[in-house]
Amino acid sequence: MLMNDPNWKPRPIVVVALLFFALVCSLGGVWGGPALGDHEALVAECARQMRITGDWVVPQFLETPFIRKSPLPYWLIAASSYLFSNDSVTGLPVTAAAARFPSALCAFGSIVLLWYLASRMFGARVGVVTGLVASSSVAFLLYGPNATAEMPLTFGCVWAYTHFWFAATTKSKWNAFLHSMAFYVALGFAMLAKGPAPVALVGFPLAVWWYVHRPLRILARSGLGAWKKIAVSFLRGLLPRTVSVFTRFWIFPGLLIFALTFVPWMMAVAERQPHAWELWNWQYVQRAKGDYPDTRNRTIVYYIPIVGGLILPWTFLVLEAAIAPWVQRYARMHKPLLFAGLWTLLGTLSMSLMEFKKPYYVLAAVPGVILLVGVAAERVFFFVRRMDTSAESWLLRVGVIVQILALFGAGWMWIADAESTELFKPIMA
């Protein structure tokens, strides 16, 4: 059994040091660094046009309506530009730092939320370790200072998962209501960041977890031999868990709040741009089907080395993290571990089933891995003397090999993919 001390609390100096470390890792790349990449420049230019024209409804690129993408990244950058001086050469608003600042803030917010969520799920010490893992991971170091939609989307997803967990586990009906409403707001925020992606990255994994986490915990405890008990648990839970969707999660008023976060913008744009609905169908539905320019033949396992690369330098713990929801030494934590595991597994699977793939599409599923790795890292670093079985020793040894393979595999895939090297083009030139 995991020997995490429930009475352990971090010293103030530890909290301050971790906050400072997270700030440096997420915001440190805002000033300096390479010039804006192609995609970053497009987002920044749309935000600049909002500032110049005063039209914050219909984004424009080079004075042409650009409504293919959701508007939140443009709004955040345009608002951020009020905090920064205009470009010293052109005198225009929206500098590179202003463009990257909102994404970096979203990275910092995601790290703090993961720290808090892990503390409440697994204990304060695991929370601190999770904050350290998240701050130092390639996912946040690379995409924090990146003026695109990826980190706002990731923040929205982490925010939504956090509120869903508390809505699902609190004993107070009032707190469940408040967290449920906040969940729908967060999900709407993520929709404004990147279209329908949160439905696959958040809605699908959470729906599965809500219905199957009890049967899966029986499976973890008793094995496949208890299949009858597993089946009975699932069937008996169908009706009460469905009722809870309406009584605990307030799905009807919640969906209304969710829709009110992004539908008004869509209606306003469609009124001024009649072709908007056809364009969004092509941009999102046809893209998912692969009927889209630049669709490449990428297999269903395409994202596996990408995820491994995004959690570097902690990939050596991925095997320990992967088995955590299923082994006895983590038995007290199986419920939250399954929550994090399905976040990762089904979020990644959702992106993998889409025909159109890009490396960063899976970014919002990575925080689930980070939660799992935080638990594994706390055990390894604080209870390493207890890990004296050959099985545990081999997990770490194989994990180191996995880390090396992830480093080379993900590195090769990023370099081979032109879209994923935008940040590095000025460096490699």
Cα torsion 7, 12, 13, 15: sign: positive
Residues 408, 415 contacting (CB under 8 angstroms): no
Amino acid 418: pLDDT = 46
H-assigned helices in 6-123: 12-27, 38-53, 72-80, 96-122
Using pLDDT thresholds of 50, 70 and 90, give the confidence band for residue 68: confident
The DSSP annotation for 325-344 comes to GGSGGGGGGHHHHHHHHHHH
Out of 1-5, 318-322, 344-348, 356-360, the most confident range is: 344-348
What confidence score (pLDDT) does residue 414 get? 57
Predicted local distance difference test score (pLDDT) of residue 60: 92
Q: What percent of the chain has pLDDT over 90?
A: 62
Q: How many CB atoms lie within 10 A of CB 147?
A: 30
| Residues 38-53 pLDDT 10s | 889 999 999 999 999 9
* pLDDT per residue as tens digits for the range 204-219: 999 999 999 999 999 9
**C-alpha closest to that of 32 among 134, 83, 102, 101:** 101
Kindly report which listed range (45-49, 65-69, 179-183) carries the lowest average pLDDT score. Answer: 65-69
Length of the chain: 429
Angle at 51 between CA 424 and CA 152, to 5 degrees: 50
List own/partner pairs for 230-237 with CB under 8 A and 24 or more apart: 237/211
Q: pLDDT band at 282, cuts 50/70/90? A: confident
Assess contact for 30 and 100: CB atoms under 8 A: yes
More confident residue, 423 or 322: 322
